[in-house]
Chains A and B, each alone.
Chain A
Amino acid sequence: MSILEFDHVTKVYSVRGAGQIKALDDVSFTLESGQTIGLVGQSGSGKSTIAKILTQLEVPSSGEVRLDGRPIPRRGAGLRRYRQQLRMVFQDPFASLNPYHSIRYHIERPLRLDAVVPKSESEAEVRRLLERVRLDPDAVIDRRPHELSGGQRQRVAIARALASRPRLLVADEPVSMLDVSIRLGVLNLLADLQREEGLGVLYITHDLATARHFSDEIMVLNQGRVVERGPADDVILRPQDPYTRELRAASPDPEKHFAAASGPGRTETLGVSL
C-alpha cells in the first residue's frame, strides 16, 4: 500500500520585486514502502521544495501531504513521531556531521531522542548500525568526522538516518560529492538496506544515469510540475516528454558519443590531429 501521498500540492513563494513564484504546481504522487522513486530535474525545478515539505521545513500553500492516510502533524509530539519515520541523507558528508562530536555521539543522539532502545543497549545498537553500513565499529566509533573519508562519512550519515528505524528515506544527492569509484558502493549499500528494511526511498538527483540504475520509478520535475513519471528504464530509454528528452540529451553518455563518432562529423568533435 502507499504510505506517502502528495495530493495536489502547490507551493508559492512570494519574492520581493519578482511577485509570486510557483515552486511546486499541483504535484501529486505516492511512494510505497520498499519502493524507490528517483526525482530528477534541473536546479530550480522544485526537487528541494518537495524535500522541504516532506521534512516540514515548509508548509504547502495548498494541497495535502499524508502518511498512512493521515495529514502530517504541524507541531508537537505528532510532528516528532512523523520525523522519526522519515529521515534524510544529505549531499555533503563534510557538512552534515558535527566536527566536534564522535561517531558514537552522532548515532546515539537519535537513539536517545526517539527512545529506540533502552539506554543500556544503546552502545550495542550503535555498533549494530555501524555494521549495517559496513563500517568496522572498533575502527570508527571513537573517531571524529575529519578522521574519516567522504565515503565513510556518508555511511555514518546513513547509519544515523537508520537509527530511528524510519520507514522513509529522503536521499538528496547522496553520492554526488563522493569519488566516482565509491559511488556505486554507497548506492548498493542503500539498495541493500532498502530491500532488507522495506524502506521507501526518495532519491533526489540530477544524475540520470544513477537515477535509472537505482530507482524503480523516475519522476521528472520541470518548473514545479511533474512532467513525466514511469518505470526507470521507460523514462530514461524511451522518454515521452520533451523536457525529459532534453535532460537525457544533456547527460554525458560515452556509448552514444562514440557510436556517433565513428560516422561523419568525427573531425568536428576532435578538431585537431593527434
Chain B
Amino acid sequence: MSDPLLTVRDFSVVYDVDPPVAAVKNVTLELQRGEILGLAGESGCGKTTLAYGIQRLLKAPAVITSGSVVFHDASGDDIDINGLDAEQMLAFRWDKISMVFQGAMNALNPVATIGSQLADVFEVHRPAMSRAERRDAVAELLEIVKVGAQRARSFPHELSGGMRQRVMIAMALALRPQLMVMDEPTTALDVLVQREILRQISQLRREFGFSVIFITHDLPLLLEISDRIAIMREGEIVELDSAERIWRDPQDDYTKTLLSSFPRLTGERGVVLR
C-alpha cells in the first residue's frame, strides 16, 4: 500500500561554477511514511546534495534547476517546498523535516550546556512554551534517547562521542518531525556504539513513526537498517529497490560493483589477495 510522505519529481541541482557541475540530475522518488530510505554512493555522487536540496538547505553556487518536492503532511495538506516563502520555510524546517548532520559529534556548541541547546529548539519553534515546560521537554528528550535528564547541565566535552550523537538525535526529534535526514550519523563511532545508535534509531522510528533518509557510503550498514535503498552515481539514481532485492538480485552494474567492493565479514576469503 502506498502512503507517500515526500514526492520528489524531476529534481536537478547544478553547481553554477565554471564549468557548471550537474550534481543531481532529474531525480524522481517517492518516500513512504515511516520508511527508512538508504541513500548510497561514493563521495561526489550527489547524495548529500540531493538530501539537502529537497529541504532547500543548499546555498550558492548551488542552483535548483528543475523539479518539485511535495511534502504530504500528516494533516492531509500537500506542501510544495519550493513554493514556501522565507518565513514559511523557517517554520517548516525542523518542525516537519529535521536533520542529524555529518560529523554530528562536533556539531554541538562547546560553550553551552546540552540542555540549553535543546531548549533553543523550543524557544524558536514553540514560543508559547513556558520556561518550565521547556525544561520538562528537554528532560523528556534526554530520557528518550537514554542520555538521562540529569545530563542536561553537561557540556558537550563531558559526554562521549556516542552520547553526543544521541543528543543530536534528541535535538532532531524535539518537534516530532515526520522526516529525519541523517547524513553519515554513525561514521566516526566504533562498531559497538554504532550498533546501539542504529538500534535506537529503529526503535524511535517504530515508536514515533517518522521516516528516515539515511545517507552513508557504508553499504553493509545500510543494507541492515534500510527498508529501501537508492544507489546514486554521478547525480542519478541508478537503482532503487528494497534492501533485500538490492542485496540478493542487484540489476544495475554499478550496484553490483559497489556490493563486490566491500569485504564480507563471514563470506568467502580472497577479496584481498594475499
Contacts and interface: CB of A to CB of B under 8 A. Distances in A.
Nearest to A177: B187
A251 B224 CA distance: 10
Contacts of A116: none
Contact of B262 (A209, A249, A274): A209
Contact of A213 (B202, B224, B228, B271): B271
Interface string B215-256: 001111101100110000000000000101001100000000
A240 interface: no
A252 B224 contact: yes
A198 interface: no
B109 to A, nearest CB: 23
B1 A273 contact: yes
A265 interface: no
B186 to A, nearest CB: 10
Nearest to A194: B274
B245 to A, nearest CB: 10
Contacts of B273: 188, 191-192
Nearest to B217: A180
A187 B272 contact: yes
A236 interface: yes
A42 B190 CA distance: 6
Nearest to A45: B190
Nearest to A211: B263
A35 to B, nearest CB: 11
A208 interface: yes
A18 interface: no
A253 B269 CA distance: 15
Contacts of A261: 244
B205 A274 contact: no
A258 interface: yes
Contacts of A273: 1
B258 interface: yes
Q: Which range contains the number of B residues in contact with the other chain?
A: 35 or more
A7 to B, nearest CB: 28
A38 to B, nearest CB: 11
A187 B205 CA distance: 37
B274 A195 contact: yes
Residue of B161, B205, B262 with most chain A CB atoms under a 10 A cut-off: B262
B35 interface: yes
A181 B42 contact: yes
Nearest to A216: B274
A181 B220 CA distance: 13
A252 B266 contact: no
A213 B218 contact: no
A206 B190 contact: yes
Contacts of B269: 213, 233
Contacts of B217: 179-180
A274 B227 contact: yes
A113 interface: no
A272 B227 contact: yes
A8 interface: no
B261 A252 contact: no
A254 B223 contact: yes
A209 B32 contact: no
B34 interface: yes
B217 to A, nearest CB: 5
Interface string A189-231: 0011001000000000011111011101000000000000000
A54 to B, nearest CB: 21
A252 B218 contact: yes
Contacts of A246: 192
B142 to A, nearest CB: 22
A17 to B, nearest CB: 12
Interface in B33-59: 33-35, 42-43
B195 interface: yes
Contacts of B228: 274
A163 B177 CA distance: 54
Interface in A224-274: 233, 236-237, 246-258, 261, 270-274
Nearest to B223: A254
B257 interface: yes
A253 B248 CA distance: 14
Interface in A54-87: none
Contacts of A110: none
Contact of B42 (A180, A212, A248, A257): A180
A268 B231 CA distance: 24
A254 B272 contact: no
Contacts of A188: 272-273
Given A214-B274, A251-B191, 4 more contacts: A213-B263, A252-B221, A255-B267, A272-B227
Interface of A: 42-43, 150, 179-181, 183-184, 187-188, 191-192, 195, 206-210, 212-214, 216, 233, 236-237, 246-258, 261, 270-274
9 contacts: A208-B265, A212-B263, A214-B263, A216-B274, A250-B192, A250-B194, A254-B247, A255-B265, A274-B227
